[in-house]
Copies of this chain bind each other. A is one copy, B any other.
Amino acid sequence: MTMDMTFLGTGSAYPSPHRGASALVLRTEGECWLFDCGEGTQTQLMRSSLRAGRITKVFISHLHGDHLFGLPGLLCTVSLNTNPDPEQNLNCVDIYGPRGLRNFLRVTLGLTGSQLLFPYAVHELEPTPEQSPEEGQLSLEVCEVSDFCPPHPQERPGRKITLDVSSDCYLLFEDKKFVAKAFRLFHRIPSFGFCIQEHDRPGRLKTELLKELGLKPGPLYGRLKNGESVTLESGRVVLPTEVLEETIPGRKVCVLGDCSSVVGDTPLSLCHRADILVHEATLGDEHRERAVDHGHSTPEMAAAVARACCARKLVLYHFSQRYKPSSLRKEGDDDDVCELKRQAEEALQDSGVEVTLAEDFLTLPIPLRKSR
């Protein structure tokens, strides 16, 4: 199964003509999962090779506008480009994000009379007090009050997801291919990271060996591949481990929202050996104090997380708009975004972690793993 990630917006605070506001898409065969949706994401999607209509899941890391203000418009535009036959639109778009997100959509879609042709559900994560300073929790007042707001006609019941105390994380969903979890970050308002873990898949059948054992292609092959033992007419029991090549390990992709740190150690263990760890680096290390004051990270701080969880690749994004993309930078300009990469690389010397600088429309393939 092919898998890749495309950055639609890599700027912080607001969208600009040279950097979109936060948004990226994880694509697996036929499905697009959107992480954050700053203003202008729908236009960035149109500029990319992705199709907005393929978005089946949305993950919102936190409720700051530069990660969220594009969502109502995106849903409306997807709907405008949707087949108007209701029979064709039964698939629910699942939206995961912090408490308050459901009412944000109710009010923005409701007050604007926005009609949607497809159903959607908002699954809200309950933050904990460790995720933000006290004043960061104020916005929940608004949230509680607007609970009176009636649901959109296309809203389906969503879950309230609380921190699972034993695992110290939030289980978002598990299906045949993936398990998705969220974990806690510290920011000015509660922020989350997401860990998408592909299940390991059984290795290929050793067909030569199966033929030697007298087994012909058919349903028994499927049972073996599914991990069941098979008894031959001779009475010989064939174990799956005998006839399957090595398990193909699943890939792991972790996307962290805005943060100046993770909360506890669980995020590090959840992200252990991630193929891709996407971490913000809003400002250079020389502005560390300012970054932390605003709940943000520098390349060195991102690198420390990547090192602690032994990530394979650290991808930096969410750059202050002062850092222009390299292609637009002129000689003598301050604020070289490549300097952010150098800072992370320096902090990751001898760690084996590769550093990539995200730019709008960068697509990173996520190849199948060959080993753990």
Contacts and interface: CB of A to CB of B under 8 A. Distances in A.
Interface of A: 13-17, 21, 39-40, 42-43, 46-47, 63-66, 68-70, 72-73, 76-77, 80, 100, 103-104, 106-108, 110-114, 136, 138-139, 141-143, 145-146, 148-150, 188-189
A142 B106 contact: yes
Contact of A146 (B15, B21, B80, B107): B107
Q: How many copies of this chain does one complex carry?
A: 2
Given A14-B77, A46-B16, A65 B114 contact: yes
5 contacts: A65-B72, A103-B107, A111-B139, A145-B148, A146-B149
A201 B189 CA distance: 52
A73 B69 contact: yes
A76 B108 CA distance: 17
Contacts of A108: 65, 69, 104, 107-108
* Candidate in A21, A104, A106, A110 with the most chain B CB atoms within 10 angstroms: A110
Contacts of A189: 113
A138 B109 CA distance: 12
A138 B150 CA distance: 11
Contacts of A17: 43, 46-47
A307 to B, nearest CB: 31
Nearest to A52: B14
A72 to B, nearest CB: 6
A13 B107 CA distance: 19
Given A113-B138, A139-B112, A149-B146, A69 B68 contact: no
